[in-house]
Chain A
Amino acid sequence: MIREFGLIDVMYLIAAARWTIALTVVAFAGSAVLGLGLAILRVLPIAPLRWFSATYIQLVQGTPLLVWLFLIFFGLPLAGISVNPWIAAAVAFSVYGSAFLGEIWRGALTSIARTQWEAGASLGLSLGEQLRYVIIPQSIRIAIPPTVGFLVQLIKNTSLAAVIGFVELTREGQLTAAGTYKPFAVYITVACIYFAMCFPLTQWSRSLERKLDVAR
């Protein structure tokens, strides 16, 4: 039986958005850890590590997220790891996000003048200490606005997890559309919920960018 699209469905959709947020948080954490590693590998004066990181980033940025999602969804079982959509999505989004965060953060790290490294070295700091006390604190300011921007991309991209059966906002939308036969109303609602999550972040990222400009 076809039911009406009513307030209760809207509530369900809003409730489903919590899985979008949960996936975003997990994926962002994974991306951040891997991305920081990649960014640091790119600025260290050790060529093979730089090449590895650059190749990884090119490889991931040159393939669609959907392919990563499926590769990991079907690939992890081959490696003997049993997989539910949660794990597959979290791993795939972490791999995908790390390439983008790695690139963003590399940009922030390399924007710090070479002389800052040298100043650290001349104070007797080791390479790790130069990064830890001189370079990273300065680059964080530069990195924050594009990182917030990336978060918006990540929220939108979690919609693709619907494809491997992860029930988040978009998948809930599909289910609701199938049940109520009101696809336009359902997907407009879904779009509004995404907008409500992303737009404040977009605005925040922009205001951070402006503040940074003024500070210079």
Chain B
Amino acid sequence: MKYGLQFRDVFAAWESILDGVWITLLLSLVAMVGGLIIGVLCAAGRTYGPTWLQRIIGAYVEIIRNTPLLVQLFLIFFGLPSFGLRLDGLTAAMIALVINLGAYTTEIVRAGLEAVPKAQVEAGHSLGLSGLQVFRYIVVFPALKAMFPALTSQFVLLMLATSVASQISVQDLFHAASIVQSRTFRDFEVYTVIGVLYLALAIGFRGLFALIYRLVFVR
């Protein structure tokens, strides 16, 4: 017997799929904001801070970047209750994603800061600008411009990686797929639809960031 693809049952469950989209967007947004804050703080600490702080931040970046997100997620969700800290899935996922993205953005922001030529910073100092003024008027803008493309692709990768949160029963887009699948048994169709939705989200994010880039940096 030949298998015929049927999408009708899948589309009939559009409400639970849409709920999943919201959770995925929420996870991505929280992780992006949190990860960016951590990234900026850690990059500043690693560039201008004392040696012991640089070491700690370096260790954080290396540990996170050399272990899988799924294991980090399991450690927080299944591991922390051993110490009496029981988090619900959504909170655990948010924490794991922020910590994970923070490590990557630290490196991106640091590279962005280093992309500003030293001579320009020195020129600022020799004009009598204070450290803060040099940072405010000379470093920030070109640094942001340099780090923006890398930040964009990291954000999109993160948005796609939020799908992993479904494994600790966060009801994101990917989790919606398994629910619809168990109701309709249309495995292949469900994951095709979900894949297209993720693709649309990824294209949307890329478009949005490209627009921001053009508005802010191209004139």
Partner-B contacts on A (CB < 8 A): 59, 61-68, 70-71, 74-75, 78, 152, 156-157, 159-160, 162-163, 170, 173-174, 177, 182-185, 187-188, 190-191, 194-195, 198-199, 202
CB distance from A91 to the nearest CB of B (A): 14
In the bound complex, CA of A101 to CA of B184 (Å):
36
Residue from B62, B65, B166, B195 in contact with A71 in the complex, judged by beta carbons closer than 8 Å:
B195
Asked if B150 CB lies within 8 Å of chain A CBs, one says: no
- Complex contacts, A74 vs chain B, CB 8 Å: 187-188, 191
Query: Is A184 a contact partner of B198 (Cβ separation < 8 A)?
Result: no
- Complex contacts, B194 vs chain A, CB 8 Å: 67
- Complex contacts, B163 vs chain A, CB 8 Å: 64, 66-67
Name the prevailing secondary structure of the A interface residues. helix
- Complex contacts, B63 vs chain A, CB 8 Å: 191, 195
- Complex contacts, A68 vs chain B, CB 8 Å: 195
In the bound complex, CA of A215 to CA of B62 (Å):
26
Known A-B contacts A66-B166, A183-B74; the reply to A202 vs B65 at CB < 8 A is yes
CB distance from B169 to the nearest CB of A (A): 13
Q: Across the A-B interface, how many residue pairs have beta carbons closer than 8 Å? A: 113
In the bound complex, CA of A184 to CA of B174 (Å):
26
Query: Is A71 a contact partner of B71 (Cβ separation < 8 A)?
Result: no
CB distance from B157 to the nearest CB of A (A): 8
CB distance from A72 to the nearest CB of B (A): 9
Residue from B80, B83, B198 in contact with A67 in the complex, judged by beta carbons closer than 8 Å:
B198
CB distance from A198 to the nearest CB of B (A): 4
In the bound complex, CA of A195 to CA of B70 (Å):
14
